[in-house]
Amino acid sequence: MPSQVAGISERQQLIIQHLEEANQELSGQDLHARLRASNSPMGLATVYRHLRQLQQRGQIRCRHLPSGEALFAPLGRDEHHITCVDCGTTAVLKRCPVHHVDLETEDSQGFALLFHTLEFFGLCEQCQSRQRD
Ligand SMILES: [Zn+2]
Ligand SMILES: [Zn+2]
């Protein structure tokens, strides 16, 4: 269970809880559907407003798909993807190759570091063999 964080509302705590329980990243639409299926529905605009506030406070992480869709995950989940440039298939990397990399104090320029994003692109096996034919 997530620990109670000072300064965030009960509804925001609930959103974090749903992100923690999901084993993959969730979009605002996904969260909206999950909250509706549970006994605490929230309007879609409200979900997005809370997500934006949580993101601005550094309580959740966010990445954008090439389509522009934003996906959210708990701050502590260090997970990355490799995506096929042809068919768009995405796979989760088994480990983060830069998990132990830290910025030097000089490079972080006074920022309190929260998370990083890292994305790999390639051709999946199916597309490699299809392109060979
Ligand atoms: Zn492919
Ligand atoms: Zn990482």
Provide mean pLDDT across the span 13-40.
95
Tell whether the model's pLDDT for residue 41 goes beyond 50: yes
What integer pLDDT is reported at residue 15 of this predicted model?
A: 97
What integer pLDDT is reported at residue 65 of this predicted model?
A: 80
Tell whether the model's pLDDT for residue 21 goes beyond 80: yes
Query: Ligand 1 centroid vs 55 CA: distance in angstroms?
Result: 32
**In this structure, which CATH number among 3.40.50.2000, 3.30.1490.190, 3.40.50.620, 2.30.30.830 belongs to the domain 78-133?**
3.30.1490.190
What integer pLDDT is reported at residue 92 of this predicted model?
A: 92
Query: Ligand 2 centroid vs 119 CA: distance in angstroms?
Result: 9
More confident residue, 39 or 52: 52
Mean pLDDT (the chain, rounded): 91
Looking up tokens 């910025």 gives 103
Do residues 74 and 21 touch, judged by C-beta distance below 8 A? no
Whether 78-133 and 1-76 are alike in CATH topology: the answer is no
pLDDT digits (tens, 9 = 90+) for 64-110: 887 889 999 999 999 999 999 999 898 999 999 998 888 888 888 99
Q: How far is residue 106's CA from residue 87's CA, in Å, rounded to a whole number?
A: 40
Do residues 72 and 51 touch, judged by C-beta distance below 8 A? yes
Do residues 32 and 40 touch, judged by C-beta distance below 8 A? no
The full set of domain ranges for the chain reads 1-76, 78-133
DSSP 90-133: EEE-SS-TTTT----HHHHTT--------EEEE--HHHHHHHH-
Q: Check: CATH 1.10.10.10 for 1-76? A: yes
Query: Ligand 1 centroid vs 81 CA: distance in angstroms?
Result: 14
Query: Ligand 2 centroid vs 43 CA: distance in angstroms?
Result: 32
Provide mean pLDDT across the span 23-51.
95
